[in-house]
Structure 1
Amino acid sequence: MRFHGEILRCALLGLAMLSPFAANADSWQQIQREAEGQTVWFNAWGGDEAVNHYLDWVSGEVKRHYAIDLRIVHIADAADTVKRIQTEARAGRKTHGSVDLLWVNGENFRALKEANLLQTGWAEQLPNWRYVDTSKPVREDFSVAVDGAESPWGSAQLTFIARQQQTPEPPTSPQALLGYAKAHPGTITYPRPPDFTGTALIEQLLINLTPQPDALKQPPNERTFAAVTAPLWAYLDQLHPLLWRQGKDFPPSTARMDSLFTAGTLRLSVTFNPMHAKQKVAKGELPKDSYSFGFPQGMIGNVHFVTIPANSSARAAAQVVANFLLSPEAQLRKADPTVWGDPYVLAVDKLAPEQRKALQALTPENAPPVLAEPHAAWVNALEQEWLRRYGTH
């Protein structure tokens, strides 16, 4: 895609003199000068080939434009990296940490922020912040204030996948999903918590079913937890016997869900990326008639971020990389389902006309409203209770 020259140069090079933060232009140029030659160790989830290819492209771009050596550390779970950062802090390693940039959100961000292990106040000073859609939850993460300690990178929403041939009219509520399971026993399931998507589905059902949704905006309370969650467990007690393997076994991941769906064992898959079906169909990895859907009243969603540990030895370069990840060019490439298909975090009306048109073409159709996630502390509480009730089958 071709962009107007000056806009593209701004997107690629992050030229601070074109930023509304004019007073910060000199300091941003200083950050860019300091970043040259630095090595950034970027810890990012490595469980998807498309994500890994995209990050390889990012590494090449920041090398070419900023002389930054971006090293991608493929991780299975950000929680493991959080533990490493915490261990370094306990050992008194205040500089030269092993992590310079981390793909993070939710409970992992909360753990680091509450322990004062993150650099704060930098995210909204990035020149490309001016493009960010601030109507998205970019200033809070699972109800925890961001305080400029992480920069938005992509957005996501819990999404079901079905086949047009099998399911021309998808279920539109938890009760309709239960009815679907009764009509087609053994053909639906969800990833076993603590898989992120599996836990997200539990949270979705809780939001839909609890009589006390406001309680989810605060950490769970021991005195009220049982009452708030009772309708969820009653629902799952009805649903589980109707699931694949009678709910006595659960797929370990969304990738396993996809393979069971493609094989015809399952009628539904589930993902936290509304562009996932398009991406996998384009690559021939899901049936051609696969489509995405959600409950029309809303599906749980969030923004995912990158953050810089306080003991990073490449703070300047990490900021430059974060700024590049927010550029229209990088966001457009990331949103393309033939590349990755991860939804963008930019406000379309803040972009140049050609960029605006290109991003609008990548916007998921008929996407349901985004429901805010419960407070981050609910994740562990729900997972532990789920495992207590269903994890020993």
Structure 2
Amino acid sequence: MNITRRHLLALSTSSFAAPAFAQTTPAWSAIEAKAKGQTVYFNAWGGAETINAYIQWAAGEVEKRFGVKVEHVKVTDTADVVKRVRNEKAAGKANGTVDLVWINGENFLTMKREGLLFGPFAEGLPSYALVDVHGKPTTRLDFSEPTEGLEAPWGMAQLTFMADSKRTPKPPRSLAELLAFAKANPGRVTYPRPPNFHGTTFLKQLLVDSSEYRSTFYKPVAMESFAKATTPLWATLDQLHPHLWRAGKQFPQNAEAMRQMLADGELQLALTFNPNDAANEIAANRLPASVTSYQFNSGTIGNTHFVAIPVNASAKEGAQVFANFLLSAEAQARKADIAVWGDPTVLALDKLSNAERARFAAKPLPGQVEKSAPAIPEPHGSWVEPIEKEWARRYGA
């Protein structure tokens, strides 16, 4: 990575305890002072009630503690936010409508390349000292693109499969087993239709699992060699599709639809990008307690999701204060709680105090992954668009 500076700063208030090893700095105090009274327009996906409720809680805490108001602007596609920032910058609008955005992958790559991001700021946040940059390298690497401090890590994700143990006691744990399982259970396996990100992630899983030259996908895509590099992926899909739900002629719109089809017995497998998703659904009585979660033994695609500040944000200081709170042990532990959201933390628990670490202690719940498999880093973000376009050309009609 190109990052060589790390500020170990601390936030010092009576209600938000900082780690003992951190130090308060005048620079951070100045940011806090300027942030007071600002309104942060946080553009984030608004498709899940649990996530929306968590953001509302975090916004309330930041307003109460630091005098920063946070408005959750609910979006369905982050690419639309990128376009808005681009258009506002092109129009010379110095005070943009987006102060903070929930982002990763190709959207981050686009904003970084086009100079649409403020920073670097992330490693100057006091709470960044707690991030597990060594054990979770994707906290500094977004779809194989160095973050260079332009976005702050927020949570972890990894492709995870679900199966009802009563109907599927031995689910497939490799690509070869998945192909065999689909053939033995015609119409009971599928994946979301790309460009839905769960569907695209499934394609990337098959891409890296079917190729002998995995390293190719961790460099920017070269279109002159794209066809050759992706030949194993299309060959695998050609084998798989005839055995899928509706013979691979139609696909569910999203992972939520697949999950419902699993609950209804229409499918034997579903997928998610949150290893705690099934546990959440079981706790909410939307899935039976017999549903289990697992990952391929050799590993599945994993990444980090982030928050970033546009270059023309109107409340840059307030955005940093909110991003810092989202990285705190308190906020991360609440986010990781199955009853709240169940989104895995980006923090290194061994960096926390005993009291902070205790916030993360919880007994395993039905539906959680019992043994995590290795996380396979995302291919470089530049591969996403050409893969989705080629998939649509081959199978989208």
How far is the alpha carbon of 1:360 from its aligned partner?
5.0
- Contact persistence 2:330–2:359 (CA under 8 A): no
Residue type at the aligned position of 1:126? L
Matching of residue 13 in structure 1 with residue 16 in structure 2: yes
Query: Equivalents in 1 of 2:186, 2:358: separation in Å?
Result: 43
1:370 aligns with 2:352: no
1:357: how far off?
A: 4.0
Provide the C-alpha distance between the structure 1 equivalents of 2:18 and 2:185, rounded to a whole number of angstroms: 56
In structure 2, the CA distance between the partners of 1:273 and 1:203, relative to structure 1 (3 Å rule), is: same
Q: How does 1:1-393 map to 2 (within 5 A)?
A: 13=16, 20=22, 22=23, 25-93=25-93, 95-135=94-134, 136=136, 137-361=138-362, 364-392=369-397
- For residues 354 and 331 of structure 1, the distance between their equivalents in structure 2, rounded to whole angstroms, comes to 14
Deviation sequence 1:272-296 (CA, Å, 0-9, x none):
1111111111111112211111111
Superposed CA deviations along residues 126-147 of structure 1, whole A, max 9, x for unmatched, are: 0001110002111121111111
Give 3-state SS (helix, strand or coil) of 2:152's partner.
strand
Q: CA deviation at 1:92?
A: 1.1
- The CA deviation at 1:96 is 1.2
**TM-score of the pair, normalised by structure 2:** 0.93
Q: Give the Cα separation in 1 of the matches to 2:351 and 2:11.
A: 14
1:12, 1:84 → 2: CA distance?
37
Q: Secondary structure at the residue paired with 1:303?
A: strand
| Separation (CA, whole Å) in 2 of partners of 1:178 and 1:11 | 56
Using structure 1 for the length normalisation, give the TM-score: 0.94
CA distances 1:173-201 after superposition (whole Å, capped 9, x unpaired): 11100111111110110000000010001
Aligned equivalents of 2:14, 2:235: Cα separation in 1: 51
In 1, Cα distance between the equivalents of 2:323 and 2:83?
A: 22
- What's the secondary structure of 1:302's corresponding residue? strand
**Cα distance in 2, alignment partners of residues 194 and 174 from structure 1:** 21
Aligned residue for 1:323, secondary structure, equals helix
Deviation track 1:104-139 (CA, whole Å, cap 9, x = no partner) reads: 001000111111111112100100011100021111
For the Cα contact (< 8 Å) 2:309–2:316, is it kept in 1?
yes
Shift of 1:362: 7.1
CA distance in 2, matches of 1:165, 1:317: 50
Q: Does structure 2 retain, via aligned residues, the 8 Å contact 1:335–1:343?
A: yes
Partners in 1 of 2:214 and 2:123 — Cα distance? 31
Q: Structure 1 regions of 5+ residues with no counterpart?
A: 1-6
Q: Is this contact kept in 2: 1:335–1:362, CA < 8 A?
A: no
Find the aligned partners of 1:324 and 1:170 in 2 and give their Cα distance.
40
Q: Cα deviations across residues 345-393 of structure 1 (Å, max 9, x unaligned)? A: 000101112432442537853010000110000110110110010001x
Letter in 1 for 2:182: A
The AA in structure 1 aligned to 2:205 is Q
Percent identity at matched positions? 47
Q: Tell me, yes or no, if the aligned pair for 1:294 and 1:368 is still in contact at 8 Å.
A: yes
- How far is 1:82 from its partner? 0.5
The 3-state SS of whatever aligns with 1:72 is strand
Structure 2 residue identity aligned to 1:209: S
The Cα shift of 1:11 comes to 9.9
Q: Is the 8 Å Cα contact of residues 167 and 268 (structure 2) preserved in structure 1?
A: yes
Residues 287, 10 of structure 1: CA spacing in aligned structure 2 closer, same or farther, 3 A cutoff?
A: farther
> Where in structure 2 are there 5+ consecutive unaligned residues?
1-9
Counterparts in 2 of 1:372 and 1:12: CA distance versus 1, 3 Å: farther
Q: C-alpha distance in 2, partners of 1:36/1:151?
A: 21
Q: Summarize the Cα distance change of 1:257–1:9 in structure 2 as closer, same or farther, 3 Å threshold.
A: farther
The Cα shift of 1:269 comes to: 0.7
- Cα distance in 1 for partners of 2:103, 2:117 equals 12
1:4 alignment counterpart: none
Task: Out of 71-80 and 138-147, give the one that drifted further.
Answer: 138-147
Matched position secondary structure for 2:200: helix
Q: Evaluate the alpha carbon distance shift between residue 183 and residue 134 of structure 1 in structure 2; reply closer, same or farther with a 3 A threshold.
A: same
**Which amino acid in 1 is paired with 2:79?**
A
Are 2:11 and 2:18, in contact at CA under 8 Å, matched by a contact in 1? no
Alpha-carbon distance, 1:247 to partner: 0.6
User: Match for residue 3 of structure 1?
Assistant: none
After superposing the two structures, state which structure 1 stretch, 25-34 or 219-228, moved more: 219-228
Distance 2:76 2:28 in 1: 33
- Count of aligned residue pairs for this structure pair: 382
